Amino acid sequence: MTYSRIAGTGGYLPEKILTNHDLERMVDTSDEWIRTRTGIVQRHIAADNEMASDMALYACRKAMAAGGVAAGDIDLIIVATTTPDMIFPSTACILQDKLGIEDCPAFDVQAVCSGFIYALATADMFIRAGKCRNALVVGTEIYSRILDWTDRGTCVLFGDGAGAVVLTQSDRPGILSSHLHADGGHRKILAVPGSICGGKVEGKPFVMMEGNTVFKFAIKVLEEVVYEALAENTLQVSDIDWLIPHQANIRIILSTAKKLGIPMEKVVATLDKHGNTSAASIPLALDIAVRDGRITRGQHVLLEGVGGGFTWGAVLLRW
């Protein structure tokens, strides 16, 4: 039987760092207010000439080096992003060209903060079906360009960055199962309700969020999808070695872990230094935990995310 497993991980964060103290000079907020309500201390901001594909390129090169895979070995590219380089072509096609790969399927996935989960699940199905052998799965975001920097309720939350994995064909289980959900009935509580028509922006091209509603919804579905993954694999919560949630808010992470009975020592949290990097947050956190030695072969790792749409999902894997 054919399976897929993660052979290598990579991450990239822009050079510029924006701290809470920097934000105190930009908007009516404080370091204490941001820390206590979000857990965020700083976030990275892309340079003016940096695009989502540029950040993805750096992350992919690291993942490919870690996995021992050359550009010519890649036969699928899936990019999860809410902030593409342009309307079209896809950021995946632009990334493909920058990597020097001439011919393989390449496309974007738009599931906001659940994007990497959706992309990873899709790549897994391609490999299991025998349609590819080595896939690049990337989350890359430049949220700093869709923020209203006068809105303290949203501008303090987000950061820029990219994370990537090489998913490769294997004869032993890596990804055990994936679980994807969406409910468009909640589409208005977290959105960027802007569009382009006739060369002009219509609506508001900035992140808008009903914070309390998002908080309650996220905690509910993140708990449910963990139990869904465990039930499908006949595992218990105690079998999870590492939980890597979407890095949105420390209160969401703490509440989810508490409801599941998972100690924070088994949760990978990076949002204090990264902020919410949307589709990039899970692969960035995974890369850090792999490279610092926390995650080791044979362990059960559960990735989960929730984002605007509303979308949510989980991937359970054996590292």
Of 113, 132, 134, 179, the active-site residue reads 113
Contact 203, 194 (CB under 8 A): yes
Model confidence band, residue 222 (pLDDT cutoffs 50, 70, 90): very high
Give the tokens for residue 138.
Answer: 């990337």
The secondary structure of residue 276, as a DSSP letter, is B
Whole-prediction pTM value? 0.98
The CA–CA distances, whole Å, from 221 to 56, 157, 254, 269 equal 29, 21, 14, 19
> 3-172 and 176-318: same fold?
yes
Residue 200 neighbours by CB under 8 Å, 6+ apart: none
Q: Identify the CA nearest to 229 among candidates 317, 129, 148, 149.
A: 317
CA–CA–CA angle 153, 155, 161 (5° rounding): 135
Residue written as token pair 């025998």? 130
> What architecture does CATH give domain 176-318?
3-Layer(aba) Sandwich (3.40)
Question: For residues 29, 31, 33 and 37, what is the CA-based torsion angle, rounded to 10 degrees?
Answer: 120
Strand-pair partners of 197: 200
The secondary structure of residue 303, as a DSSP letter, is E
Model confidence band, residue 1 (pLDDT cutoffs 50, 70, 90): confident
A 10 A CB-CB count for 3 gives 17
- Burial category of 15 from C-beta neighbours within 10 Å (exposed 0-12, middle 13-18, buried 19 and up): exposed
Q: Where are the domains of the chain?
A: 3-172, 176-318
Task: Give dist(CA 161, CA 46) in Å, integer.
Answer: 8
The secondary element (H helix, E strand) that includes residue 32 is helix 31-38
pLDDT digits (tens, 9 = 90+) for 41-67: 999 999 999 999 999 999 999 999 999
pLDDT digits (tens, 9 = 90+) for 255-290: 999 999 999 999 999 999 999 999 999 999 999 999
DSSP, collapsed to helix, strand or coil, labels residue 174 as coil
The secondary structure of residue 29, as a DSSP letter, is -
Average pLDDT over residues 227-232: 98
- Residue-by-residue DSSP string for 52-104: HHHHHHHHHHHHHHHHT--GGG--EEEEE-SS-SSSSS-HHHHHHHHHT--SS
Q: Identify the CA nearest to 159 among candidates 83, 225, 210, 226.
A: 83
Give the tokens for residue 143.
Answer: 């949220």
Length of the chain: 319
Task: Give dist(CA 24, CA 156) in Å, integer.
Answer: 10
Give the tokens for residue 72.
Answer: 């010519």
Average pLDDT over residues 189-200: 95
Of 179, 186, 246, 274, the active-site residue reads 246
Give the tokens for residue 17.
Answer: 């760092």
Q: Is 93 a catalytic residue?
A: no
pLDDT digits (tens, 9 = 90+) for 111-149: 999 999 999 999 999 999 999 999 999 999 999 999 999
Task: Give dist(CA 314, CA 242) in Å, integer.
Answer: 13
> What is the amino acid identity at position 165?
V
pLDDT digits (tens, 9 = 90+) for 284-313: 999 999 999 999 999 999 999 999 999 999
Task: Give dist(CA 245, CA 162) in Å, integer.
Answer: 16
Of 186, 274, 276, 300, the active-site residue reads 276
Q: Which residues of 230-267 are buried (b: 16+ CB within 10 A; e: fewer)?
A: beeeeeeeeebbbbbbbbbbbebbebbbeebebeeeeb
CATH class of 3-172: alpha beta
